[in-house]
Amino acid sequence: MWEPVWLQILSKPCASCCQLLLVLAVLASTQGQIPRTCASDWHIANRMCCPHWWGDGSPCGSASGRGYCQELALPSPWSGGQVGEGRASDFRLGWPSYFFSWLCACQRGYGGVDCGECAHGWEGSQCQRRHLVERRDLRQMSVSERDLFLDRLLLAKRTVSSRYVIYASSSREPGSPLHFRDASLYDIFAWAHYLCAKPQGGGQLGTYAHRGPAFPCWHRVYLLSFEREMRNLTGDQDFYLPYWAWAGQQSCDICIDDIFGSNDAQGFLNQTSRFCSWLTFCSGEGAHELDFDVICPPGATLPIRRHPAVNRWLGGLPSLQDVKSCLRLPNYDTEPYDERALKSFRNALEGYLLPSDPNTLYPSMHNMVHFFCGGTMSSVTYSSNDPLFLAHHAYIDKIFEMWLRAHPGNVSLYPTDPSVPPGHRADDTMPPFIPVAWNRDCMRSSLEFGYTYSNMTI
């Protein structure tokens, strides 16, 4: 429904950010995001990702009681296949069983690929203390706080991830070479959203991050995972993603040069913006943008572009009343659990349903903000390349959190109907995250994940 970015006409080059893209050959037949410590032929062949924790030298820190190596149990049927069985129909379903059967299961308080760090919301030498940060409104931060945050995004864009690599294909032809690729920390996450915004295999319209009950849950894990990697990069355990409170705004008030950048008539960010040289990642596919058989081949890149209000014919930014109406919807989701669902909080929040008239399907909320910003933000696959994406989705998560707190027993509200689309079922795992996360587990207050929001009112 969003504008494909490959339709944009490039008329003005922009300097590239420094990126290192090393290629590591692998003997496999599909794609994914893999912890660097498990990115070897041995790990793939043995279907095991249980790294030794540096603190005691044992798998998953088992000698210290931090965790243990456990076989991953997933509901069936799923169509992920296994390495060596040929190209799977969709390796994202049943993630990450295409690659690994054994992963670390961490004890309470511990987290990470090897159980060597604290889980979300915990701190201390033995992860024994609760840790809580407050995500604040971007416009309520001091200039120095805001500048530090934005400069750290620049650091993430130019720093190759030390903890993850991506798994990419260079061609849609069967038997084509496939590669692990290095990517910057920021681009690892741009890739994750890009991957899960691609349609499901077999030509289905559904995706794993959108158009279903998992929409707010998947993006919650995305933001939490990004924060974790930024804390690891910067050493600041209180790093947080601020939110853009767009409700009731008449314009993109943070699209100014000293924040996320203003744009010229062609949509290119002005040279005075710190983000003017950013290039999109995984944008070399051309007409194969929505083809799942092509995953992030190296090639052409595109500059970040915006066209605020270019789609105003659909309406402006959502109003405060839209948010209030959305929060009043009592049902988390309804049949058919996709973009056609009526009287559904999730579908209204995602933006396929009018919050003020929950029997009418029309662009609103999350989708309307993407439409309003235009350019890169209006591309479903590439929108996460624009740093504005993070602040927008932090606000979406804040609205989700407000709804959760207003509905006690919210874990049980995630739909368990057999008609829920694959990838969005309660017991489905979320690609491409390792450590593994389940859809149902995100229907809990943010307080349990170690964060809250400022101004928890509308």
Q: Is 458 inside any structural domain?
A: no
Q: How high is the pLDDT of residue 30? A: 30
What are 77's two structure tokens? 């049927």
Cα 373 from Cα 207, distance rounded (Å): 22
Distance of CA 254 to the CA centre of its chain: 21
User: Residues, the chain, total?
Assistant: 458
Residues sharing a CB contact under 8 Å with residue 169, sequence separation 6 or more, in sequence order: 30, 31, 176, 178, 179, 293, 294, 295, 296, 297
Q: Is 439 inside any structural domain?
A: yes
Per-residue pLDDT of the chain (458 residues; tens, 9 = 90+): 443 322 222 233 333 333 322 222 222 223 347 899 998 889 988 999 999 999 999 999 999 999 999 998 876 555 444 544 444 457 788 899 888 999 999 999 999 999 999 999 999 999 999 999 999 999 999 999 999 999 999 999 999 999 999 977 765 555 555 567 899 999 999 999 999 998 886 666 678 999 999 999 999 999 999 999 999 999 999 999 999 999 999 999 999 999 999 999 999 999 999 999 999 998 877 667 777 777 887 777 889 999 987 766 677 899 999 999 999 999 999 999 999 999 999 999 999 999 999 999 999 999 999 999 999 999 888 999 999 999 999 999 999 999 999 987 766 789 999 999 989 999 999 999 999 999 999 999 999 999 999 999 87
Q: How high is the pLDDT of residue 359? A: 97
Element (H, E) at 167: strand 164-169
Q: How high is the pLDDT of residue 309? A: 75
Q: Is 136 inside any structural domain?
A: yes
Which phi and psi angles does 21 have, rounded to 5°?
Answer: -120, 85
Torsional class of 444: left (φ above 0), alpha (ψ -120 to 50), beta (otherwise): beta
Segments forming the whole domain that contains residue 55: 5-453
Q: Is 127 inside any structural domain?
A: yes
Buried b (16+ CB within 10 A) or exposed e, 100-132: bbbbbbbbebbbbbbbbbbbbbbbeeebeeebe
Which CATH number goes with the domain that contains 144? Answer: 1.10.1280.10
Q: Is 106 inside any structural domain?
A: yes
- Structurally, the chain folds into a number of domains equal to 1
Element (H, E) at 70: strand 67-71
